[in-house]
A and B are shown apart, each in its own frame.
Chain A
Amino acid sequence: MARLIPSAYQPPLPRERLIRAEPPAEDRIDLDVVFVGGGPAGLAGAIELARLVKKDNEQGGGLGEVGIGVFEKAAALGEHSLSGAVVNPRAFRELFPELKDSDFPFRRAVEREAVYLLTSGRAIHLPTPPTMRNHGHYVASLCEIVRWLGTRAEELGVNIFPGFPVDSLLVDGDRVAGVRTAPSGLDRDGNPMANFSPPTDVAARATVLAEGTRGALSQAWLEWQRVPSPNPQIFALGVKEIWETKRALDRVIHTLGWPLPTDAFGGSFMYPLEPNVVALGLVVGLDYGSASLDVHELLQRMKLHPLFRPYLEGGEMVEWGAKTIPEGGYYALPERRYGNGVVLTGDAAGFVDVPSLKGIHYAMQSGMYAARAIFSALKAGDTSAAQLAAYDRAVNGSFISEDLYRTRNMRLAFHDGFYVGGIKAGLMTLTGGAFPGKRINVPKDADVAKTTDHAATFVPDNKLTFSKVDGVFKSGNATRDTIPSHLVVGKDVPTEVAAMYARMCPAAVYELADGKLRVNAPNCVDCKATDVLGPRWTPREAGSGPKYQRM
């Protein structure tokens, strides 16, 4: 068995493509504020900003019309959004004080919950850790949340542009001056076809990066501005399925242990969306030790466990999807999440609390804080870093920062394995985060050595278990085959590294054919896993990727 370090084969981020020192073109569109990404962060931010502007104008504040645009790469809002999800309604309540919880796009309140430690044949009921208690929270589909927020934003006059991926930031010195959208209608070699649509430049006084997990522009901006963080950001990959079941599920289930090896951090979930519709998935930290680990395949095996099988038997898998999650927590937050003309929000900034498995309400809340800081900056006629620093102060003084600080070392403890991590995390809970008293250092995922080993072959039964290609079909991905590849792959990838990519990628984008790496770019569902450990992801033509409906 050999060891390989993924970063040795990883190409650098193509920064020159993502950040362009060019003014917006003459035939540009002029907006005041651009949100890059129509997820919970971007939409909550756009709603809050539109309301502040409206109120200001009603009170004679004199701000006048403020052009707000939300740019989303999916063909329709929500189609690239995926989460568990059990949602803390806190940010919803703050954003919509006039509404009741029952008005929000949630499926059902969490009434019962259970945490199990799995072995290959058994499920041992564990006491629910304090961080995982979900009383007062709601099971929801992030797709539905996003569509609902989109309707609210449009009612307030926000311009929502689904099907317009942002390709690059346009910068003037160190100021973000706007964005450029991705062209569409290019053939495989990058030549325009009959239905070619050129990129459009958009000038903005402030740009909010709300790209979600492993955002390409956010990474490029942080790298370009040399904004450090105490620890590197680390990621997990989640693969999720929606099932219509014959048997009703009456509780929220989380599991630890099997089918993960002890040197991998992660767990599974199964949530009831409707009496006979469940969401289930498996999440694994990308700092795992075996090069042959395959999250999609582990999820398939997991469904055969006696805890899950009785629910799924006779049912139908109706949707499939995958997404990474930023798991680094407090110590992986960039030291500043603002600059001249720009702020970073939500998953793009890393506002996720792993011990409670929550990110949506932090994303929304950070979008709202961004909106407030930008509103003040527009009022002052100055969207420079000095003005937008108010955003960081708001986040730092809020429950976002407080929650992430309390659990600052918990995920990091698991870098040394499941059992050691479990004991340490228990001590952290008991001491309110005070143990071990200092930051646990972790390397970035791509620097963690993986052991090359052989995996047992798995043959799906096409009833309970499915291949990756079947999964991609169920994600709704109908990307045209002639699209230029949006993935930047390293040169001369050795066989064992290509094999690792093929196992890691849940969407069968990477294949090992005759010892060589073959890239099926149209399969990509934008989960960003290989961007963390291998080939880089870049924005591509509008409408590419999955079409999630209830993820």
Chain B
Amino acid sequence: MKIAVCIKRVPDTETRIKIGGDGKAIDEAGVKFVLNPYDEYAVEEALKLKEKAGSGEVAAIALGSDAAQETIRTALAMGADRGVLLKSATPSLDPLVTARALAAELEGGGFDLILFGKLAIDDYNQAVGTMVAELLGLPSVSAVSHLELADGKGTAEREVEGGVEVVEFTLPAVLTADKGLNEPRYPALKGIMAAKKKPLEVKPVAADPGGVAVLELSLPPARKEGRIVGEGPGAVPALIDALRNEAKVL
């Protein structure tokens, strides 16, 4: 079983984001970067499938700056066999540009399965995985929360409003992983030691700004402070009044 996992380096969810001086990018000073949490599910699923198959290869592929090597090493420490960094000096904002660069690398790689996280927590585009499937002409299932593979075919479950959608597909295919697909492992000490010696190929890719430009970044407006209207049953009328006349939700 030969599996590719496409991963991204993103700011940690607990990082306090500051907008940089130009107003168009975040200030990276002091920001901790991590492997995109949804990509962790993808890496874990790839490792489980390989372990189940008993043989194969898991390749972790990222598009990004040199710093993304650290993110690839995390995937290698979890158990991926090799890494590829598609090195680009400028961050890619246009999902199609990212998808093209990844598709060019994946094309002809002989992968049975290509996995993504369902979205990257920095830009929330939810686009690259599906675009890569389209570019490679492969079947695609997004936001997979359960997966079974057998005899060159697969069954994936997706959580949809009020139920579960079951999708059948043939391999090779492109899937994007949702929360709940598995419980990602922590890299073990041995894995971290071994990761240092695993191959990590760096391939420069042409920086193409694509069709997207950032005009301005702004932080979401601060949430208004809550208010305690009172305590005990006596406060119910005041609460109903506030919900009806202030919040206008009743």
Contact = CB atoms under 8 A, between A and B. Distances in A.
Contact of B14 (A184, A197, A547): A547
Contact of B186 (A185, A318, A476, A549): A185
A200 B193 contact: no
Contacts of A29: 189-190, 193
A76 B185 contact: no
B14 A195 contact: no
A478 B185 CA distance: 19
A550 B30 CA distance: 8
Interface string A220-232: 0000000000000
A284 interface: no
A197 B30 contact: no
A478 B14 contact: yes
Interface string A270-301: 00000000000000000000000000000000
Interface residues of B, number: 14
Interface string B182-210: 01111011101100100000000000000
Interface string A157-199: 0010101100000000000000001001100000000110100
B184 A181 contact: no
A197 B14 CA distance: 23
A61 B22 CA distance: 53
B24 interface: no
A76 B32 contact: yes
A195 B193 CA distance: 20
Majority secondary structure of chain B interface residues (helix, strand, loop or mixed): loop
Contacts of A161: 189, 192
Interface in A504-551: 542, 547, 549-550
B188 A197 contact: yes
Contacts of A164: 189
Interface in B1-32: 14, 16, 30, 32
A446 interface: no
A202 interface: yes
Contacts of A163: 186
B31 to A, nearest CB: 9
A155 B185 CA distance: 27
B32 A195 contact: no
Contact of A476 (B14, B30, B196): B14
Interface in A189-223: 194-195, 197, 200, 202
A200 B189 contact: yes
A202 B183 CA distance: 26
A277 to B, nearest CB: 11
A181 B192 CA distance: 14
Given A76-B32, A318-B16, A550-B30, A195 B186 contact: yes
A94 to B, nearest CB: 28
Contacts of B184: 195
Contacts of A547: 14
Contacts of B189: 29, 161, 164, 181, 200, 202
Counting chain B CB atoms within 10 Å of each CB, the highest count among A76, A195, A542 belongs to A195
Contacts of B14: 476, 478, 547
Contacts of A185: 186
Nearest to A181: B189
A547 B184 CA distance: 21
Contact of B185 (A181, A197, A200, A542): A197
Nearest to B190: A29
B186 A184 contact: yes
Given A476-B14, A547-B14, A159 B185 contact: no
B114 to A, nearest CB: 25
Interface string A298-318: 000000000000000000001
Nearest to A476: B14
A318 B15 CA distance: 12
A58 B172 CA distance: 51
Contacts of B185: 195, 197
B186 A542 contact: yes
Nearest to A199: B189
A185 B185 CA distance: 10
Contacts of A194: 183
Contacts of B183: 194-195
A200 B30 contact: no
Given A29-B193, A159-B193, A184-B186, 5 more contacts: A29-B189, A76-B32, A161-B189, A202-B189, A550-B30
Interface of B: 14, 16, 30, 32, 183-186, 188-190, 192-193, 196
23 contacts: A29-B189, A76-B32, A159-B192, A159-B196, A161-B192, A163-B186, A184-B186, A194-B183, A195-B183, A195-B184, A195-B185, A195-B186, A197-B185, A197-B186, A197-B188, A200-B188, A202-B189, A476-B14, A542-B186, A547-B14, A549-B30, A549-B32, A550-B30
Closest 9 CB pairs of A and B: A194-B183, A200-B189, A195-B183, A197-B186, A29-B189, A549-B30, A76-B32, A164-B189, A29-B190
